Chains A and B, each alone.
Chain A
Amino acid sequence: ELKVEQNPLFLSMQEGKNYTIYCNYSTTSDRLYWYRQDPGKSLESLFVLLSNGAVKQEGRLMASLDTKARLSTLHITAAVHDLSATYFCAVDFGNEKLTFGTGTRLTIIP
């Protein structure tokens, strides 16, 4: 079965702290995507990771991919309130479709 699991599902953290969101998937893939969704809004593409060891960074967010461990991480550095959102990872298992995780709802507390 093709599965994508994220943890934690909910994360409440203080401004200025660092934290990591994890995305595990069930079978071989070297294509993984991260999206952000604000409440009541659509999904916005954050990162596209297309090979083992890929690392992408944008501002306070950094995403990486370890295809051997079937794991991607989204690391948040020195969190600010504007990063409060729901973050989704999605995996291409080679079947022309994306399988999404259930999302991590991130709340940054002042």
Chain B
Amino acid sequence: DAGITQSPRHKVTETGTPVTLRCHQTENHRYMYWYRQDPGHGLRLIHYSYGVKDTDKGEVSDGYSVSRSKTEDFLLTLESATSSQTSVYFCAISSGLMSLETQYFGPGTRLLVL
């Protein structure tokens, strides 16, 4: 258990509303990632962070923003949710001295945008 929690675990929201998902780690790892998982697409990287206040875009970042004000927390915000953002969202962290020695995944958040 890599000490990763995500909240909420499930959420239903309406189109146009803002949504924030939280990833919390207790391991003090430097790197944190947000992915979305959709059938037929595997996991796709949305944003990642390589330190406090240091973030960068992934391959599907449009419509999403992130913030990391503390080592342990990485927030993903959907500024104005759309139905295409209905998905399962996973947070991951990387351990070890090298950034990608391994990745541990959180339990996921199921988001439904109506």
Contact = CB atoms under 8 A, between A and B. Distances in A.
B48 A42 contact: no
Nearest to B2: A45
Most chain B CB atoms below 10 A, which of A44, A98, A101, A103: A98
Interface size, A (range): 20 to 34
Interface string A67-105: 000000000000000000000101010001111111100
B103 A33 contact: yes
A97 B48 contact: yes
A90 B103 CA distance: 10
Majority secondary structure, A binding face: strand
Contact of A42 (B40, B50, B90, B102): B90
Majority secondary structure, B binding face: strand
A43 interface: yes
A35 B35 CA distance: 15
B99 interface: yes
Interface of A: 31, 33, 35, 41-45, 48, 88, 90, 92, 96-103
Interface of B: 31, 33, 35, 40-45, 48, 50, 58, 90, 92, 99-108
